[in-house]
Structures are given as structure tokens and as C-alpha cells.
């Protein structure tokens, strides 16, 4: 099993244990691949829920550019819902898990088909 496969297993465990979600493994794999090499970098692999610039990056680079959503207050609300679902007390919020939850939240799974 490769490094990426090991990470996907870890992300799936986070979705189940911390978010109460039974993950669609095919979608999780595609979201993880879409994150590119950032998943191997300790700093880039996680999302800081308390850093406004980090949340702006998630909004602009993922929600607007990748998922094709229009900017607006719904995006910020969606990010907040996902951060609450992941649990504010969880220090390590893995980027692919956050992106997976956002993809599901905004019903944009079709982007990864």
C-alpha cells in the first residue's frame, strides 16, 4: 500500500470517528488526489479553522475555483458548518477531509465524476 493509500485510510477514519460520516471512498480518493502534493507536507496537509487567511484560501481556491461556486455568505456559512462538524477541538483538520465535507455540503460531487 502506497503512502497516499495510507493517508486515505486515515482520512476515512477521521470522517467516521470525528465527523460521524460514512465516507464514499471513491469520492474521498478523488478529493485526496485533487489536493496534489500538499497532503505530504505537514503544514499544507491540514486546515487551520482559526486562521482567516487559511479559510479564505479554502473558499477561493477550492469552493470558487474547483467547485465553481459563486462567492457569497453561503460559502462562509458552509465552511463554518464543516469546521463545526469536524469539531473545533480537533487540532488537525486534514485538508482532504475538509474538502470532502465541503463537496458533500454543497452537493458538488459531480465535479469529481
What are the backbone dihedrals phi and psi of residue 108, each rounded to the nearest 5 degrees, phi first? -115, 30
Residue 63: its pLDDT value, please?
98
pLDDT at 78: 98
Q: What is the pLDDT of residues 31-69, one digit of tens each?
A: 999 999 999 998 899 999 999 999 999 999 999 999 999
Q: Check whether 15 has a pLDDT greater than 90.
A: yes
Q: Which residues of 6-15 are buried (b: 16+ CB within 10 A; e: fewer)?
A: ebbeebbebb
* Average pLDDT of the segment spanning 83-107: 95
Please state, as a whole number, how many other Cβ atoms lie within 10 Å of the Cβ of residue 84: 10
Q: Domains in the chain, start-ordered, CATH in brackets?
A: 3-112 (1.10.238.120)
Considering the entire predicted model, what is its pTM?
0.96
Amino acid at each position: 500500500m502506497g503512502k497516499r493509500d495510507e493517508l486515505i485510510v486515515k482520512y476515512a477514519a477521521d470522517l467516521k470517528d470525528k465527523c460521524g460520516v460514512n465516507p464514499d471512498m471513491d469520492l474521498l480518493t478523488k478529493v485526496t488526489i485533487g489536493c496534489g502534493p500538499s497532503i505530504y507536507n505537514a503544514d499544507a496537509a491540514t486546515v487551520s479553522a482559526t486562521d482567516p487567511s487559511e479559510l479564505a484560501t479554502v473558499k477561493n481556491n477550492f469552493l470558487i475555483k474547483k467547485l465553481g461556486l459563486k462567492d457569497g455568505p453561503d460559502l462562509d456559512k458552509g465552511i463554518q458548518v464543516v469546521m463545526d462538524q469536524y469539531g473545533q477541538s480537533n487540532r488537525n483538520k486534514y485538508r482532504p477531509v475538509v474538502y470532502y465535507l465541503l463537496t458533500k455540503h454543497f452537493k458538488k460531487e459531480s465535479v469529481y465524476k
